[in-house]
């Protein structure tokens, strides 16, 4: 979805210039566009009367925020301790090879984004892979690619 100035403004205006809503505004923007468009960062700073540098600092601090466009499907491979022990590396290799992108990258057709995260909190079902926030546990190497495609 291409960011539209009006849409951005509409999302930001829902918070009535409340400074303390900075993270919520950024989350809302990300939910709508799948990433935080740079125009959104500038507009947020203006609307909340927070220095641009501060908004940018917050937007880059949290790893859940992305300032670059991401694919339709966001795949998160858990590399927490339990998943790592259970072979998350092999799953990552499979998916990377299958989608032809490395961790942190987005495929050129904007379909897939691959991310590596440190623990999603379901260690009992390790190794875990999240596809657009849907959790898949006990992932097997041979089935890994099917899950995400």
Q: Does 38 bind another protein (CB under 8 A)?
A: yes
Q: Are the C-beta atoms of residues 43 and 36 closer than 8 Å to each other?
A: no
Which burial class, exposed, middle or buried, applies to 148 when counting CB atoms under 10 A from its CB (0-12, 13-18, 19+)? buried
Specify the residue, 27 or 42, whose C-beta has the smaller distance to another protein. 42
State in angstroms the smallest separation of the CB of 149 from another protein: 31
For another protein, give the closer residue by CB, 37 or 127.
37
CA atoms within 13 A on the CB side of 19: 5
Distance set, CA 119 to CA 11, 35, 58, 77 (Å): 30, 22, 22, 9
Q: Is 56 in the site for another protein (CB under 8 A)?
A: yes
How far, CA to CA in Å, does 40 sit from each of 62, 117, 118, 136?
16, 25, 27, 32
Between CA 19 and CA 50 the distance in angstroms is 7
Nearer to another protein, 62 or 85 (CB): 62
Of the ranges 15-23, 54-62, 73-81, 133-141, which one interacts with another protein (CB under 8 A)?
A: 54-62
Closest approach of another protein to the CB of residue 56, in Å: 4
To the nearest whole angstrom, how small is the minimum distance from the Cβ of residue 66 to another protein? 13
55 part of the interface to another protein, by CB under 8 A: yes
Q: Is 24 in the site for another protein (CB under 8 A)?
A: no
Is residue 61 close enough to count as binding another protein by CB under 8 A? Answer: yes
Kindly give the pairing relationship between strand 129-131 and strand 134-136. antiparallel
| List of residues contacting another protein (CB under 8 A) | 38, 41, 51-57, 60-61
């Amino acid at each position: 979805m291409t960011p539209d100035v009006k849409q951005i403004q509409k999302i930001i205006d829902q918070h009535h210039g409340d400074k303390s809503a900075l993270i919520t505004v950024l989350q809302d923007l990300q939910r709508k566009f799948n990433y935080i468009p740079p125009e959104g960062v500038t507009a947020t700073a203006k609307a909340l009367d927070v220095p641009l540098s501060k908004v940018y600092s917050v937007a880059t601090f949290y790893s859940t925020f992305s300032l670059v466009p991401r694919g339709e499907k966001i795949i998160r491979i858990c590399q927490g301790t339990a998943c790592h022990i259970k072979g998350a590396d092999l799953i990552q290799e499979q998916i990377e090879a299958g989608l032809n992108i490395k961790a942190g990258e987005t495929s050129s057709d904007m379909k897939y984004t691959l991310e590596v995260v440190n623990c999603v909190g379901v260690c009992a079902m390790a190794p875990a892979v999240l596809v657009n926030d849907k959790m898949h546990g006990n992932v097997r190497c041979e089935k890994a690619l099917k899950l995400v495609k």
